[in-house]
Structures are given as C-alpha cells and as structure tokens.
Structure 1
Amino acid sequence: MAGHIITLFMWGYQEYYRIHVQVLVRNVLEKIGAPAEAEVLLVGARSPSSKNINSVCIEPEKGKWELSLFEGLLDSIEFNYQNHHLQNMFFNDAPSMQDKPEWMRRSSVQTSISKALEAFDTKNNVTSFCGEARRINDYYVTPVIQIPNSTFVQFPPLPPKPVNDAQVRHGFRSLIHAAVYTVLDEATEELHKPEPGRYTYDRMRDAEEIVRIAAKNFLHTAGLAIQQHYMYPNFFDTLNLVSSLMYEGVKGIGQLILVDPDNDAVEFLARFAEPVPFNEPRWVRKVLQMATTGVGVIANSRHIYGLGRLNEQHDAGAQNAFNVAFIDHYHWELHCGNHALIRSHYAVPKLPQEPFDKMSFLAHYKRLFSSSTLEEGMNMWSLLSTQSRQEHGSMIVVAEDAASESQRLSKQGTCIEPTRLTELLLRSASGIDGTILLDPSGLCHAIGIILDGEATEQCTPSRGSRYNSGVRYVQSNGPRRLAIVVSDDRTIDIIPRVRSLVSRSKIERHIATLEAASIENYHDSRNWLDDHRFYINEDQVARINSAISRLDAAPREDFVLHFATSLFEVNPEMEDSYLTD
C-alpha cells in the first residue's frame, strides 16, 4: 500500500475493508428507508501467541475513536475466556472439542469489545453492534457498526425482553437490527477470505440482496415468539406469494393473526377441523377472503387454524401475537399491537413510515402559504394521509388564487360553492378524473378540473400525465401553488418537493469536524456537508470553503487519487424554517 503508513497495522487492506463495509451498511439502511448515517470501526485484539508491540489496533486510527477506549481490553478478554460458559461443555465429536478454544476466544473478544464501547455509546448517543471476531495475522479483528440513537427514535424497535438462545440468534427487535446484523455476517465472512478488502467488491453481496436476507431473518421473530418448536420456514416469501394472488379476480385485503392457536387471548369464530398448511398458497388466499373487518385468520408460521380475533384483554407488550395486514395487491405490513415493523410492496421490504415527514410537510406548507394556520396545515396533512390510502390515483392542488382559478377553468371541470374538504368529500370527489382545487384554508372550489400550463424542465416522460400536469400548473409564474399527486402505482409526489428539516447542531458538528480534519479522515464530514449544501448559511460557507482549500492544498503522496470538492455557495431559497433545534 504505497504512500500510506499504518501505525496500528493489522493487515494491508484494513482501510479498504472498513470503507466497503461502511458503504454497504449505509446503502442497506437507505434501501429500507432509514437514515444512512452508520459508521464502521474495526477493533483488533492481539492474539495471546503474538509479540506484536500493539496490544490493540483500531481502524481508522485517526478517527473519532480513541485507542484509550480499549485500555485493559486484553485482560477483559482473558477474564471472559476463563469464565466462558463453554469451559465445562463437552462435545461428542473430536473436531468440535478441537475448535472449542477458538470459539471461546472469538466470543470473548466480541463480548469484551462490546463492553468497552458502552461508555462511548452513552456519551455519543449511538448504539454499537459488534460482529464476530476472526483471526487475521496477529489480531482477532471485530467489525463494529454504530447507529445514531435518533434512528431508533424515528423507527422504534420492539422493547427488549428475555429471550432464549434461539431467539438471540434469529429474533430481532426491528428490521434495522436484522439488516445491521446481516451486514455484520457478510463482513465476518469476508474476514475468512484471503486479503479481506482487496477484492471486496466482487466477493460481498450487494445491498439489495442483504435487505432481502434481513427481511427473511426478521420474519423469524414472529415465529420464534409464538411457536415453541419453530421450524424456520421462509415466511417472508410465503406472505409475498399469498399477497400476490387474486381470488376470482379480487385482490386480498384482510388480516392474518400470527399467534399460538391455544393462547387464551384467541377468540375463535370458526375453528377448522383440519389446519390449512401455508405450503398451499392458493388455499391460504381463499381462506384470507373470509377475513373481514374485525375478523382475522388465526395462524402460526406453518398452519391456519380458523377465523377469529384477539380479545380486549390481550397484552401486546407480551410480544406473543403479531398481525399481518394485507393492504393491497402484493402489499402487506407486519405489526405487533400498534407497532408497525415491516412493509413489503411487490416483495421489496422497507420500514413502515409516512411517505413524508409530518414536521417537514407542515413547515413546507407554512413556507408556501404564510397566512395559513397550524390547524389548516394539520388539516391538509390529514387529507394527504387519506389520499395516500386510496386504491386509485388522484391529485389535490392548493392555490392562493383558487377562487379565481375555479372560474377561469370552469369549462374544464365542476365548480362548487366553497366547501371545506373533508375526508368523506375527498373520497367521493377523487372518484372522477381531474383535480380537486383548494385554497390554503382547505376550502374546496372545484372538482374534476383539467389543469393547464406550459411544459417545464421539471416535466419528465418517465412519469404519467397526472404528474406532469401538476408540475406544469404549479411551476407557472404567479400565485403560490402546491400539488399532491398520488399515482395509480401508489407513488406520492408533492410539488414543489418537500425538503427535510435538518438539525442546526448536526450541521455545526460536521463543519467543526471538517475544520479539524486531516487528509486522512475528512471524507465523512465532507460528504455529509456536500449532500446538505442547500442548508448552509453565509458564515458556514466561508468556514467550509476555508477548510476545503486547506485540505486540497495539503501535500499528498504520488499516485494517490484525490477528488477535489467544489466550493460551497449560499442557496438563495434557504431560510431558517428548514432548520430544527
């Protein structure tokens, strides 16, 4: 590795390996709909047989993690090794007995590193996930993925509860947990191969495949919780298949209650004489047709036992019953009580979430229509939620000049007396072609309107006529307008687009990190700021550009690739309403 000296050296490609794992986990989080803010750390604990001068190595060695975090790590590993639960375990086969010391060593390294990071996690408000340790040269190397705790505030996991050994291995508190541990499994496998990090791009699975594996693993959580003798079926693919099937031309909409059929909380309306097996998907789909409002299909992960429901005394916190809601064709969600856990749409797993952040939408609405009240913004958010749940496409346009526009376009739709648009009226009015026209206060002035306007650069042939007509109308010069477009494929667009709110303190933290960075560790802060250029004010632009100029001018070794960063500029549309805290 010419041109780069590693002081805390474990193997030659440790930096490339860490960067690839970090890129992979960020891509995985992005694909499931979570913030892609994970960071990766490698910790190497010196093998007892080694005389290497460094007892502990970390990668990156000049990052936010101090080597002092792992003071006393080797002593901790030895203590855990001597007190390991496998010490008194005897296996019937000689190979397992031969491998047992290595298993205990790896486990002790992982446990000790996890313990050593607890203080860092608390101070920095992150959660560390430690992968399995593997021996490379003189060190037992453990990959660590750190996730900001704010991610788990946005997507709360199931509360922790006592679990047995099988659940520790296969049950997860959230899809995020399953995804992170799936990446760590992949990272551990790479450590088994020669020169990990050198050929990583050809040897590790891509993010899309990781997400599918994580979803399959996460679906085991429900089976482990409700079934004493769980057989690990591929329940994720089973639910996708069932949701894709039609019954006499009708798509399946109903609920499947995953629970022990002998649980006292189950109230059967009809119990089948012979359970219906899940390996008969068309039969399962036929049974699902009987699940109406308030009635569900009672099942565990292998069989359907009848029709029924959970009684009012059932405690969702016990995590012994889960609900699969079939929302639409090829579209389902898994819940535990009121806790939404995973959504699958056309077999693509994601975290359940609103199509837009509520606070960002309300700020966007107030920014466009300054005279509107919070109550009017909340009313529009409720209408957006109702519109997004409908089974057909529709469009709402909010316009400052709705009253005059309804008269101008009266030959292209139906004008009505100004009436507050309720959810009931929305469901009725959106049943016909055309646009519903509102003013910012929520009064409806026309329905079924055909919009006009000239084509703009924002129009695209990849989208349908409804979306493009919304773009043309909203982008026209004149009074402020907003369009909410729901396409037939359930794609939801807001025009002009809603920008997420960003934390002032987070911007400041990344700027300070960039200002203190060297050419070896500036990439993360630079990349984050580059992705958030819109939010940077004039004073911050000057500080960032000064840091970039210093880094660009720093001496570098020959033959090392360097990608220059274009200087920052203030965006004229930026204002304080885009910032939080």
Structure 2
Amino acid sequence: MAYIIDQFMWGYQQFFQISLQHYAERLFEKIDPYLKPRIFLVGVLCKDLKNRHQICLEPEDCGYSQADFAKVNELASQLEVVDAETRIRHSHPVAQENHDRSIKLNARRDAIVKTIERDSQYDDILTYSSYPVEKDGYLVFIIMQIKKLAYESHYRLTKDKFNDRYNISTSLINSIIYEFLNLSSSELYVPDSGASMQFTKREGDELIRAAGKNFMYSIASKGNNIEGLHGLYEACNIISSLKYEGEEGVGGLIVAPKDHQNIKMTLILDTPIAISEYRKVRKFLELSDPIHYLISDSCYIFGLGQIVEHYNPIMEDLMVVRFTKHYHWEVSHADTCMMRVAYNQPHLPGTKLRREKLYSDVARIFSGIKKTDIDNLWTVINEAMKQKHGTMIVVSSGAEEEAKRLRNQSFNIVPEKLDMALVVKATSIDGSIIMSPDGVCHAIGAILDGIATAKGDSSRGARYNSAIRYYESSKNKYACFIIIVSEDGMVDIMPNLMPQIKRSSINEMIEKLNAFSQSKEELSIKTFNQMMEWLEQHKFYLSSEQCEQINKLRLDIEKIIERQSHSGFIRIVRNDLKPNPEMNDSYFVDKN
C-alpha cells in the first residue's frame, strides 16, 4: 500500500524532516561529532480546517506524543502576557504591529521548547526551536536536540543579552544552531518543501562562516559601541591576511569598553584608528607583543595597553583577538579560546581528550593495566596539552625494545618515570616520547618510522601521518597507544577505539528485522527504515555472516513492501553492509 501520513501537515513533510536530519548530521560532524543532532517537526493547527489534528509530529514516533502538546497554546498565551517586551511601545503603527507579532511568535516558540523540556528533563539533551512558519494551515516548528554533555564540554559565555534586551550568542555552537534553524525555517516558505532531492544549495562551510560572523557580534558588543557591531569579523579576517614589509601579522587586540578598569593604556593615539582602516590597523599591530595589545571598542583602535590587576571573568566585558599567523586568528575570553578562524573558515578550538575516553581505551589496549598507571598517563597527557607546540607520546608494551631499535634516531635515556617536569623538557624538542604503560620513559625526540598505508591523510600534518605509519607497522607486534598533540592543543589518539556495546543488542535487532520480514500484517516503511538506520549506525560491529543476513533480509522486505504498495513508494537506496576488518570481540561488553 502507499505510505499514509496520519498526522498530515503537507505532502512532503517526511522527506523534509529526513533532509534536515541528514544536513544537520553532516554539519555538526564538522564541529563536534559527539553533539549528535536530532531533528523533528511540530505542527500546531492555526486555521479552522476540518478533520485535521490540532498537533502534528514528524516523525510521529519522535519520542513525544500529541497529548504532550495539548496545552501549548495556553502556555504560549501565559508567556506572552509576562514578556517584558510588551512594555515597549512604538510610535509607528507598522513597527508596533511587527513588535506584537514578534512577541507572539517568541511565546509560541518558548512554549514548544518548555513543553519538550518538561518531558525530557532527565535526558542528556538540550532542545532548540526555530521560529514558526505557517505552512498549509499549521504553524510548523523545527526542533533540534543535541547531547548536553558534549555541548557543555565546550567553553561558552553566560550573558546572552546586549543592553539587557537584544539576544546575542554565547558560543560558536549556539551561532551554528541559530543559523541552521533560520535556514531550515526559511526553506518552509518554498512550495512543497521537501519535494526537491536537495534540502538547500547552501553548503555547511558557508553556514559555519555565517555563524562565525554572528558570534563576532557578541564579541563586538562587549565594546559598548553600537557602531562597531557589524564589522569586526571582516576586519579580523582582512587584517590577518595582510603582510607588513613581507612579515605575517602576529599580535593581539582587546575588545572592551573604553576606560575599562583592567586595562592600562601604555600608548594613546591622538586620533583613534577606525577598525575598517585595515592597512593602518595592520601596521599598528606591529607594535603589539605578548603583553601589549591594541585596545579597541570594536569600532576604533585607541592605542596600546595591557591587562592589569585581576580581571573578573563574570563581567564578560574583555575579549582578546589574537592574530597567530597569516590568515589565522582566534578569539578568547579569560585565557580560554572560543573560536579559531583559518582562511575565513571558523572552527572550534582543538578538541581536548575526554578523560573517560582515555581510561576506557587504555584499559582495553593494555590488558591488566593498573588504574594508577592510567592516572599517571592522564597527568602526562594533560601537561603535554599545555605546551605551546605540538608533540607525540607513544605508549608501547615494547617501549624498551623500540627505543633500542630507534636509538640512531632518538635520544635514549636511562629509564625514568615520566613526571610533569620531564614532560616539559621532553616536549621542547622535535620527535616523540616513547614510554611503557607503567609510565617509564625510555626515549625522547624519537623520529618514528613505518610504511605508508592507505590510512594516511593528506589534509593532516607530518606528525599525524608519522603516527599512522608507525602504528600500522607496529600494532601487530606490540600493544600500542599513541597520543598526538597539535599546536592548538587538539588531541588525536591512535587507535581511536569505537565504544563497547552489548553483543545482544546487535542480535536482538537482527531478530526484530527477521520477525518483521515474516509478519503477516502490512509492513510499515517507517519501522523498516528505523531498524535499517540503527543497523547502519552500528555497522562497525557486524560480522560477515550478520552483514549477509541483513542484506538478504533488506532485499526481501523491500520486495514485500513494493508488492503491498498499490501507488508506489519512495525507497531509500541503501548500500550492502560489509564487515569492518578492525572489528573484534573486545568491542563487546558481553561475551555471548
């Protein structure tokens, strides 16, 4: 039979939601794969249409029910009454009409979010909603949920208002969410949204650039000069791209209110330089150093100054932009980087290694390792991440033998327990530290060898690819764990093990798929797609036999659904599942 939408808003709502989900996954994979965005739609009937649901959800099994939203209009009315914006009046009737409409839409959006948060307060998720768009008699809200733990692992500001009224972003992630929801809601104005195979022509990198610009409005607002709100992102990009007498621009710029109590001016310009005078600013940047910064309110440069006394981070009114090398700059608050920009492409600071990830992986790689040894390794890595330049640490069960083998291309030392002082010394030179799992160092400055493999990555640097070559050459000889720390503090580990799961969860899903294929009732396309998506997300854990079984069941089910469908159905084209050669029983927490 044809696929029938019970909670009907418009004909292509399912495909619109699927397109949004896939776009969001690709987008946030670039930012932080642990955020795991989930997208669904909520529709609230706003016109007098007969035989239509008051509330519609897409997908219908999104984890919430129509009954959950039964009082959403009542809640919206309450929120509208208490909104502080209702006290503001405009002299022009059109401006007042727009203002009133904005209040009403804000209230509806907040009511949707509060309703969802009420029913998911114990879940590890954060919920965001777009402004509603009227679509075929429904106010449609696009809902995004992300993992709370991953979100909170990134530094962010706490103040989200400018002049106690205007919303500003607290982080690059927030700006990306804002830009995504704006883009998604604008697509709802397109007739038959979802009918096109392509959700939008706007690439993810373009959206991230827009988000970076949006976040810099927040940084610019700290200067308390409304004239400088809109040009700071472009100014930083252009200034970072300019050379002075052939030299790259390296230095710093502080954005803060004029006469900030924690800034001591050491050189005051008679006539401030407009930040839009890029070449003048670039030339003046030559006077800055690690202590002295250009002082700006985001609109003008007033001179040079330095940070004095103890700045209170709670104030959030002193931001630092650092120009690190040609076309590279970053913005920080309280010595914590919030965004890096390279060649006009923003990204988050390097992801720090998660403690629970290290403890889990090391215990699996080095069977029987003591917790105290993992504690020591965690301390060593944390110290290495603080260094201003990159480094690499090789932890090997054959550390002593490997140090001897590489003695002509390393500094072998009398075996010594690694401590923080030794880490600082050892990471001050090129090459790797070679240590055993018990924390004993055998060599420093080691130049690793190995054979090039297909796992190399030309987009990464020499240090990362050297680690790949060494690991692939030695993994079958010794248990090995490599930590690669880049110059920006980003940490890569090798091997980067997939999480452990229950073997029974795989078996249970395959059994469900098999039972589904033998059902005497009409098969649900949605249920089939959900099962296949789960299996595709867990394809790493599948054996060769399981892949063959799933592939056969998938083909059988697709044929059954095609026979049952009288008006045709839209099929998601899926590739055959194949076993991963890296998979073994250590990835299962249960043995049977």
TM-score range, shorter chain: 0.7 to 0.9
Determine the C-alpha separation between the residues in 2 that align with 1:313 and 1:449.
Answer: 41
CA contact (8 A) 2:225 2:297 kept: no
Cα pair 2:13 2:193 within 8 Å, conserved? yes
Aligned residue in 2 for 1:178: 175
Q: Does 1:217 align with 2:209?
A: no
1:241 aligned counterpart, secondary structure: helix
Matched residues in 1 for 2:55 and 2:465: separation?
58
**Kept after mapping to 2: 8 A contact 1:406/1:437:** yes
1:187 maps to amino acid: S
Aligned-partner Cα distance in 2 for 1:251–1:396? 31
> Structure 1 residues 51 and 88 mapped into 2: Cα distance closer, same or farther (>3 Å)?
farther
CA contact (8 A) 1:13 1:196 kept: yes
* Residues 311 and 527 of structure 1, relative CA distance in 2, 3 Å threshold: farther
**Cα distance, 1:392–1:560 mapped onto 2, change above 3 Å:** same
Offset of 1:273 from its aligned partner?
2.8
Give the distance between the partners of 1:116 and 1:364, measured in 2 at CA. Answer: 39
Q: Which moved more, 1:304-313 or 1:458-467?
A: 458-467
Q: After superposition, where does 1:330-409 map in structure 2 within 5 Å?
A: 330-370=327-367, 373-374=370-371, 376-381=373-378, 384=381, 395-409=392-406
Distance verdict in 2 for CA 1:200–1:238, change over 3 Å? farther
CA distance in 1, matches of 2:388, 2:256: 29
Give 1:220 shift: 0.9
Show CA shifts across 1:299-336 (max 9, x none).
Answer: 22122223333443432112222223444544433233
Q: Are 1:527 and 2:524 an aligned pair? A: no
TM-superposed CA distance for 1:71, in Å, is: 0.7
Shift of 1:218: 0.9
**Structure 1 residue aligned with 2:586:** 574
2:555 & 2:193 partners in 1: Cα distance?
Answer: 34
Paired residues of 1:44 and 1:139 also in contact (CA < 8 A): yes
The residue type equivalent to 2:133 in the other structure is R
Match of 2:570 among 553, 560, 566: 560
- After TM superposition, the structure 1 = structure 2 runs for residues 73-112 of structure 1, keeping only pairs within 5 Å, are 73-77=72-76, 89=89, 92=92, 106-112=105-111
Conserved in 1, the CA contact under 8 Å of 2:225 and 2:298?
no
SS state at 1:32 partner: coil
1:312 to 1:99, Cα distance in 2 relative to 1, 3 A: closer
Which residue of 319, 323, 330 maps to 1:322? 319
Quick one: which amino acid aligns to residue 189 of structure 2?
H
Secondary structure of 2:62's counterpart equals coil
Which residue matches 1:67?
66
Q: Which residue of 2 aligns with 1:270?
A: 267
Matched position secondary structure for 2:145? strand
SS at the partner of 2:92?
A: coil
SS in 1 for 2:166: helix
Q: How far does residue 243 in structure 1 lie from its aligned partner after superposition?
A: 3.4
8 Å CA contact 1:276, 1:304 repeated in 2? yes
Q: Number of aligned pairs?
A: 569
Describe the SS at the equivalent of 1:333: strand
Shift in Å at residue 478 of structure 1? 2.0
Structure 1's 315 and 511: CA in aligned 2 closer, same or farther, altered over 3 A? farther
Question: Which amino acid in 2 is paired with 1:560?
Answer: I
| Aligned residue in 1 for 2:43 | 44
Decide whether the 8 Å contact of 1:357 with 1:500 is kept in 2: no
How far does the alpha carbon of each residue in 1:163-210 deviate from its partner, in whole angstroms, 9 at most, with x for none? 547531xx1122222111111111221122222222372645221111
CA contact (8 A) 1:535 1:574 kept: no
Amino acid at match of 2:570: V
- Greater shift, 237-246 or 369-378, is seen at 369-378
Deviations 1:103-139 (A, max 9, x none): 5654453343234333124243432212112222222
- Higher mean C-alpha displacement, 133-142 vs 460-469: 460-469
Structure 1: stretches of 5+ with no match in the other structure: none
Give the direction of change, closer, same or farther, for the CA distance of 1:390–1:53 in structure 2 (3 Å limit): closer
Please tell me whether residue 261 in structure 1 is matched to residue 267 in structure 2.
no
CA contact (8 A) 1:434 1:450 kept: yes
Once the two structures are overlaid, the 10-residue window that deviates more, 459-468 or 62-71, is: 459-468
| Paired residues of 2:237 and 2:344 also in contact (CA < 8 A) | yes
Paired residue for 2:496? 498
- Cα pair 1:259 1:299 within 8 Å, conserved: yes
Cα drift, residue 287 of structure 1: 3.8
Given that 2:272 and 2:301 are in contact with CA atoms closer than 8 Å, whether structure 1 keeps it comes out as yes
Which of these residues, 205, 208, 215, is aligned with residue 208 of structure 1? 205
Cα RMSD between the aligned structures?
A: 4.5
How much does 1:260 deviate?
0.5
Equivalent in the alignment of 2:519: none
Q: Report sequence identity in percent.
A: 27
| Preserved CA contact (<8 Å) 1:233 1:301 | no
Structure 2 CA distance for partners of 1:323 and 1:124, relative to 1, 3 Å: same
- Pair 1:117-2:127 in alignment: no
Cα distance in 2, alignment partners of residues 469 and 81 from structure 1: 59
TM-superposed CA distance for 1:142, in Å, is: 1.9
Where structure 2 has 5 or more consecutive residues not aligned to the other structure, the ranges are 517-522
Greater shift in the superposed pair: 39-48 or 361-370:
361-370
Whether contact under 8 Å (2:180, 2:207) holds in the other structure is yes
* Paired residues of 1:121 and 1:127 also in contact (CA < 8 A): no
Instruction: Give the distance between the partners of 1:63 and 1:551, measured in 2 at CA.
Output: 23
Q: What is the CA–CA distance in structure 2 between the aligned matches of 1:329 and 1:110, rounded to whole Å?
A: 43
CA contact (8 A) 2:485 2:492 kept: yes
Quickly say closer, same or farther: Cα 1:544–1:375, change in 2 above 3 A.
farther
Aligned residue type for 1:157: R
Tell me which moved more, 450-459 or 82-91. Answer: 82-91
Which position in structure 1 is the counterpart of 2:407?
A: 410
Map of 1:53 onto structure 2: 52
Distance in 2 (CA, whole Å) between partners of 1:375 and 1:202 is 51
* Cα pair distance change 1:98/1:50, threshold 3 Å: farther
Answer with 150-159 or 452-461: which moved more.
Answer: 452-461
Shift of 1:482: 3.7
Contact 2:400 / 2:442 at 8 angstroms: preserved in 1? yes
Whichever residue aligns with residue 29 of structure 1, its letter is F
Q: Deviations over 1:543-569 (max 9, x none)?
A: 999998997687353343144674889
Report the secondary structure of 1:141's partner residue.
strand
CA contact (8 A) 2:69 2:112 kept: yes
Provide the secondary structure at the position in 2 that maps to 1:146. strand
Tell me which amino acid in the other structure corresponds to 2:533: N
Tell me, yes or no, if the aligned pair for 1:62 and 1:521 is still in contact at 8 Å: no
Name 2:7's counterpart in structure 1. 8
Change (3 A) 1:448 1:141: closer
CA distance in 1, matches of 2:489, 2:148: 31
**1:30, CA displacement in angstroms?**
1.8
| Structure 2 Cα separation of the partners of residues 480 and 311 of structure 1 | 50
After superposition, the C-alpha distances for 1:370-398 in whole angstroms (9 at most, x for unaligned) are 46555554554555566667677765433
Q: Is the 8 A contact 1:226 1:320 kept in 2?
A: yes
Query: Which stretch of the first structure deviates more once superposed, 468-477 or 342-351?
Result: 468-477
Name the CA distance, whole Å, in 1 between partners of 2:464 and 2:146.
36
Change in CA separation of 1:15 and 1:546 when aligned onto 2, cut-off 3 Å: same
Using the size of structure 2 for normalisation, the TM-score is 0.79
Q: 1:418·1:444 contact (CA, 8 Å) conserved in 2?
A: yes
**Which residue does the alignment assign to 1:22?**
21
TM-score (norm 1): 0.80
Matches within 5 A, 1:264-303: 264-303=261-300
The equivalent of 2:137 in structure 1 is 138
Taking the aligned partners of 1:462 and 1:353, their CA distance within structure 2 comes to 16
Change (3 A) 1:21 1:407: closer
Quote the residue 2:150 is aligned against: 151
Query: Which letter maps to 1:572?
Result: N
Distance 1:522 1:379, change over 3 A: farther
